[in-house]
Structure 1
């Protein structure tokens, strides 16, 4: 079984409020992107990693990955305007049987979670990491009026990695080329093809670093894991 990873890293991270794109911000002196890549590069079942970046950051990202000696397994390619475009373009450079897609700014994914995703996708074809919702969720109209309260027991907060049979993901992205709005994750496109997508339970420390306060949460997670 061959497994490859796509890391979309072309986002600008406007909500972080910094000139430096969030994937290059540091946690304990190491860029977030490198923390994330190390998780996959050290996993024995991963054969290749594709990082999709903005054209003007291709050299910078490649030099950074080389400096941390991850270039033996990682290639840097130009992504697209949207995350969806970056994944589709990355598939052209990845020829593995199974494809994992993971956010560049989720640096706390564990080896155990990666292993679980890989083992489950082999029998199910499409799996996503997720955790049960803790909060009550309201569906709200454009006018700010609550329209309904979904049953929390049926709601999960979706994370990455997400893993797919390669041909399913390729077909889903080809079909999505004429989609009116970009999908928020790859599973959404596979679902629209009619394929079942299964949940693999993750953990709440697998956060996506998006806003400034997430950096404080990141420090807390590091300290907690050390203990």
Structure 2
């Protein structure tokens, strides 16, 4: 499982957070959110290389963070695109040619543990594409554009998708190339493979692996880290 490359899209501005700047620079337990996220992969023996993708105006800040946090596995900090999909494509291109197994992980998911990450790698090693997800707790209903309920979806077959997501490099690059040519944009990288008709395996995730999107999420993340300590 060694020689894994990590792509961390961190170009989103996080308007729902209301901070007025990239939410991944917000402080979480005295460190920027992004620092927590990168630290996990820096400490993994299975990770050879990390690429962080940021907005053009954030590149210098990210490079400073990498320097002062002593993230030696960060091989590149590159400029992202308009949408997340464009940013991931740029990050994949920035990885060394020797990297043939790629993990994509949101910069704003700082609560993934090393144990959960390594378990994910082990359980996904036989698949060319695998994603992490957790069972849905709430009842989910499908509605029309006017809000009228159409039907209730069976929870047993539903998962809330998280990152990390892992792919063989060849199939991920092919999916991004075909999507770019067709002008297709998916909600995550796995959806590009689904669009191509390529199988994607779901692997059990962890409920604490939340994406910090709102001020309430930040408070929850602080509480989770406090409990861990």
Give the TM-score category using the shorter length: over 0.9
SS of 1:108 mapped into structure 2:
coil
1:73 aligns with: 73
1:49 aligns with: 50
**From 204, 209, 212, the counterpart of 2:207:** 204
1:118 aligns with: 121
RMSD, aligned α-carbons: 1.2
SS of 2:132 mapped into structure 1:
strand
Determine the C-alpha separation between the residues in 2 that align with 1:145 and 1:179: 33
2:13 aligns with: 12
Q: CA deviation at 1:179?
A: 4.5
C-alpha contact (below 8 Å) 1:121/1:164 kept by paired residues: no
Determine the C-alpha separation between the residues in 2 that align with 1:215 and 1:8: 19
Determine the C-alpha separation between the residues in 1 that align with 2:30 and 2:114: 22
1:34 aligns with: 35
Question: Could you say if the C-alpha distance between residues 27 and 98 of structure 1 is closer, same or farther in structure 2, counting changes exceeding 3 Å?
Answer: same
The superposition leaves residues 174-194 of structure 1 with CA deviations (integer Å, 9 ceiling, x where unpaired) of: 011145552110000011222
Determine the C-alpha separation between the residues in 1 that align with 2:124 and 2:193: 13
Determine the C-alpha separation between the residues in 1 that align with 2:222 and 2:173: 37
Kindly tell me the number of residue pairs found equivalent between the two proteins: 225
C-alpha contact (below 8 Å) 1:131/1:156 kept by paired residues: yes
Structure 2 unpaired stretches of 5+: none
Using the size of structure 1 for normalisation, the TM-score is: 0.96
Determine the C-alpha separation between the residues in 2 that align with 1:37 and 1:61: 11
**From 147, 156, 159, the counterpart of 1:156:** 159
- 1:65-214 matches, within 5 Å, as 65-70=66-71, 72-74=72-74, 75-94=76-95, 95=97, 96-180=99-183, 182-214=185-217
Q: CA deviation at 1:103?
A: 0.3
Q: CA deviation at 1:170?
A: 0.3
C-alpha contact (below 8 Å) 2:124/2:203 kept by paired residues: no
Determine the C-alpha separation between the residues in 2 that align with 1:22 and 1:178: 31
The superposition leaves residues 58-78 of structure 1 with CA deviations (integer Å, 9 ceiling, x where unpaired) of: 1111011101101x2112111
The superposition leaves residues 8-59 of structure 1 with CA deviations (integer Å, 9 ceiling, x where unpaired) of: 0110100001112100001111000000000111000000000001112111
